[in-house]
Amino acid sequence: MEANEMILIETLKDIEPALKEYFAYDRAMLYPEIERMYLATHPAGLHNIQLEDKYRVEVPSTLDELATSDNPFDWQRYAPREQKMIKVVDTLAYMTNNIKGILFKDDGLKKKIEELVEGSNIPEEYQVAMVHVLWILAIIYKKHEAFKPILDPELLEQSYNMDTYFQQVRPEMLQLYLFLKRDKRKKDKSITLSNNQEKIIINNPMESWFTNLLDSYLHIYLGVNSIEEAEEELKEVYSSKKGRKADNPARNLVIMGIYRLLKKHSQLKDSKIHDFIYEYMCIIEEGDVVNATIKSVIEYFKKGDYKPQWVPASQGNYRISPNNPSKLYFW
């Protein structure tokens, strides 16, 4: 009989704030395990159950987006719109509140993490919670690396045109952004458009209508905030001579999350934190990792406002605009 390890629901709820803050956790990442446990104890499932109002939640409606124009200048798509909200049943919350805990295969992972935490001079009052946080993180990481989707299914389904955006459109947008921002006087100059056969002069000084329009467009579909940010992305992601490239966003998320977690909840020096992360990565990746890479990842992301985010493997290091709410249109 296969042995299992259980995490109690009350324990999971206690550690969820830390998982969210440091590792971009969402309970839906554990949906299959929660559903399996619920059905094991409630074979009838959710049929004929009258759910209380507390399980009815408001979520943004995306149904109206399907009816918008393909034209990026259509006012319904381009201009900000009031977000409609609809009420849906939060079956995940209901199932979670009606089971004792979640079972995971006992593959020795939790035991190894316990030994790592106990031998690392982490304050005793944090050790139990730390073990559970890092155990659940390891489970999520392994899922992601096995390419079992834990992201928004709508985003994955609509990713057919993402490659064009990442590889062609976005780098051109970055260059256009820099063209507009590097010389602020361009707003007051006429602009010439040419295709080598003919050309047209845009009399931009008249209310700067052309550059203002481009600024608004790039704000939505590019979403960078400074010349420095645009230059860095071009260098790190698109330059033929790339700098230190973030070649594994999921691994970087784990490294930076643990670094910040230990900086807040332990007195460990950076060198000891690097060693801890190295040993942890060896456990969850079931093999040796390059220790120097851990330090370089931390030093690189410490420079900016790093936000943890799980991204599809196909997206790699590419970025999308945080100002574009659409899951259908990237430009």
Residue-wise pLDDT tens digits, 105-130: 888 999 999 999 999 989 999 999 99
Q: Which residues of the chain have pLDDT under 50?
A: 1, 65-67, 75-76, 78-80, 148-157, 242-246
47: left (phi over 0), alpha (psi -120 to 50) or beta: beta
Distance, CA of 306 to CA of 304 (rounded, Å): 6
What does the alpha-carbon distance between residue 152 and residue 225 come to, in Å, rounded to a whole number?
26
What pLDDT is attached to residue 187?
Answer: 61
Chain-centre distance for alpha carbon 191: 38
* Amino acid, single-letter form, for residue 228: E
Work out the angle at residue 230's Cα, subtended by the Cα atoms of residues 226 and 235, and round it to the nearest 5 degrees: 145
Indicate yes or no: pTM above 0.75: no
Please work out, in degrees rounded to the nearest 5, the angle formed at the alpha carbon of residue 232 by the alpha carbons of 230 and 235.
110
Q: Which runs of consecutive H residues, i.e. helices, occur in 24-97? A: 31-41, 75-78, 91-96
pLDDT score for 321: 87
Q: Say if CB 31 and CB 96 are below 8 A apart.
A: no
Which residues does 84 contact at the CB level (< 8 Å), separation at least 6?
A: 60, 61, 64
Look at residue 61 in the predicted model and tell me its pLDDT.
67
Q: How far apart are CA 271 and CA 277, in angstroms?
A: 10
| Of 249, 181, 190, residue with least CA distance to 219 | 181
Residue 18 parent element (H or E) = helix 9-23
**pLDDT value of residue 186:** 60
Q: What is the reported pLDDT for 146?
A: 64
Q: Tokens 């946080």 — which residue?
A: 133
pLDDT value for 185: 59
pLDDT at position 305 is: 76
Strand 191-194 and strand 56-60: the pairing is unpaired
Closest CA to 93 of 40, 53, 129, 131: 53
**Closest by Cα among 142, 183, 129 to 29:** 142
- Which spans in 222-331 are helix H? 227-233, 249-265, 270-284, 291-302
At residue 1, the pLDDT reads 40
> What pLDDT does residue 209 have?
83
Give the residue among 127, 191, 161 at the shortest CA–CA distance from 326.
161
- The Cα 285–Cα 283 span in angstroms is 6
